[in-house]
């Protein structure tokens, strides 16, 4: 029995979710996003689950930091591993060549550096066009110049074209349609190279964006950013759990936790949970944020502290010390908890700390 707080991860759920990606984008290659330590699920485990089998579920994975790529390469010695937007200099290019990393190039200066570099092996380059997200990526003129620099460069083995959408979660977005058109037409004018546009939201909501490569992220881990899929299309991969440490019977008018933020209005039964913000549960979770106990919902009642939280179980008389409590997972999505807390599942997944036990099936 796990004593306090732990996270369970389901390989079956992960494979179920990527099968949904394949069903939605049957013609595209899949580049799985495992940045942020696999969205908090463990990049090595996610990659091994999806790639290291007789028939891989995807054709490559991607991370956002060089040290992520270095660590992952130790466990995933061959196969496509893309390093997303990063600061490009000569040492990084040499590392990419030695580790056989694909590299995203998002500005003309980086393309110029590659064209003049002497590297131990040529690189696969993904040129990024800024279609309206306005974070990373080149405008049309710089993209064309970068393409011309690298198209016949001996330091480049192949070129891909890519972009990223700003509001693909809106199925009716005219902006997304315009952004698809910008990369599609620009790529075509340069000779039709493999393209990648679709993140999770676009995979679901914009089939005409799928092109040659799709880049699923949050949907791999069980969250539908569009709200358009059937309830069974995705399954939660992560189940964040804790236990009841104690139960107190309180009279009306008593306060609970620091600053007595929550106060009883009637006689109440308050359970103390073995989870706090040092485990990654959000300190700013407001009163009323739900958890699951014995298949029933119970609300947070009082401020989340470093190691403990409190919930109102007055309506669950059978609740007892030692009972398992689901903070998010099956029956209570991280997305719903995130809505209560003013954040999103991505942040909740990635903030769980090292002291929480991890159980992989």
Q: What is the pLDDT of residues 36-59, one digit of tens each?
A: 999 999 999 999 999 977 689 999
The count of other CB atoms within 10 Å of the CB of residue 300 is: 27
| Whether pLDDT at 250 is above 90 | yes
Catalytic residue among 116, 188, 258, 360: 258
CA 349 to chain centre: 8
Quote the pLDDT of residue 172: 84
Q: What's 11-221's CATH class?
A: alpha beta
Quote the pLDDT of residue 173: 84
Residue 1's pLDDT band, with cuts at 50, 70 and 90, is low
Average pLDDT of the residues of the chain: 96
Quote the pLDDT of residue 262: 96
Quote the pLDDT of residue 265: 96
Question: Across residues 137-141, what is the average pLDDT?
Answer: 98
| Whether pLDDT at 23 is above 90 | yes
Question: Across residues 236-240, what is the average pLDDT?
Answer: 98
Question: Across residues 105-126, what is the average pLDDT?
Answer: 98
- Considering the four listed CATH numbers 2.40.37.10, 1.20.1630.10, 3.40.50.150, 3.50.50.60, the one that applies to the domain covering 238-360 is 2.40.37.10
Q: Where are the domains of the chain?
A: 11-221, 238-360
Quote the pLDDT of residue 24: 97
pTM of the model: 0.95
**54-71 per-residue burial string, b: 16 or more CB within 10 A, e: under 16:** eeebbebbbbbebebbee
Q: What is the full DSSP assignment across 173-189? A: -HHHHHHHHHHHHHHHH
Q: How far is CA 342 from CA 128, 169, 285, 298, 335, in A?
A: 31, 18, 8, 19, 10
Q: What is the pLDDT of residues 290-333, one digit of tens each?
A: 999 999 999 999 999 999 999 999 999 999 999 999 999 999 99
Question: Across residues 241-247, what is the average pLDDT?
Answer: 98
* Alpha carbons 279 and 325: distance in angstroms, whole number: 15
* Percent share of the chain, pLDDT over 90: 95
Quote the pLDDT of residue 188: 95
- Residue position matching structure tokens 């881990």: 221
Catalytic residue among 35, 128, 195, 241: 35
- Among this protein's residues, is 35 annotated catalytic? yes
Residue 179's pLDDT band, with cuts at 50, 70 and 90, is very high
Residue 292 · residue 326 · CB < 8 Å: yes
CA angle 123, 193, 133 (to 5 degrees): 85
- Among this protein's residues, is 128 annotated catalytic? no
Q: What is the pLDDT of residues 67-91, one digit of tens each?
A: 999 999 999 999 999 999 899 999 9
């Amino acid at each position: 029995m796990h004593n306090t707080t732990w996270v369970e991860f389901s390989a079956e759920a992960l494979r179920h979710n990527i099968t949904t990606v394949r069903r939605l984008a049957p013609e595209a290659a899949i580049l799985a996003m495992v940045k942020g330590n696999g969205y908090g699920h463990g990049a090595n485990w996610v990659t091994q689950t999806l790639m290291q089998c007789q028939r891989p579920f995807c054709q490559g994975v991607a991370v956002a930091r060089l040290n992520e790529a270095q660590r992952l390469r130790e466990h995933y010695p061959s196969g496509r591993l893309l390093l997303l937007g990063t600061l490009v200099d000569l040492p990084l290019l040499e590392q990419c060549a030695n580790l056989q990393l694909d590299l995203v190039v998002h500005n003309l200066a980086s393309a110029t550096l590659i064209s003049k570099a002497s590297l131990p092996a040529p690189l696969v380059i993904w040129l990024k066009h800024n279609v309206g997200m306005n974070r990373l990526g080149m405008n049309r003129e710089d993209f064309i110049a970068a393409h011309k620099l690298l198209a016949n460069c001996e330091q480049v083995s192949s070129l891909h074209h890519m972009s990223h959408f700003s509001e693909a979660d809106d199925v009716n977005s005219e902006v997304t349609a315009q952004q698809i058109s910008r990369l599609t037409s620009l790529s075509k004018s340069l000779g039709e190279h493999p393209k990648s546009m679709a993140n999770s939201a676009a995979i679901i909501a914009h089939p005409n964006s799928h092109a040659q490569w799709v880049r699923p992220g949050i949907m791999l881990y069980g969250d539908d950013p569009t709200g358009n899929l059937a309830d069974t299309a995705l399954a939660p991969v992560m189940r964040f759990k804790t236990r009841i440490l104690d139960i107190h019977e309180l009279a009306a008018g008593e306060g609970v936790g620091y600053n007595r933020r929550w106060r009883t209005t009637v006689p109440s039964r308050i359970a103390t949970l073995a989870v706090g913000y040092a485990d990654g549960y959000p300190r700013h979770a407001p009163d009323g944020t739900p958890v699951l106990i014995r298949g029933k919902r119970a609300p947070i009642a009082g401020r989340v502290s470093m190691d403990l939280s409190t919930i109102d179980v007055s309506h669950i008389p059978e609740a007892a010390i030692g009972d398992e409590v689901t903070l998010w997972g099956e029956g209570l999505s991280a997305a719903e908890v995130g809505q209560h807390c003013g954040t999103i599942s991505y942040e909740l997944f990635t903030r769980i700390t090292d002291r929480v036990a991890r159980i992989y099936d």
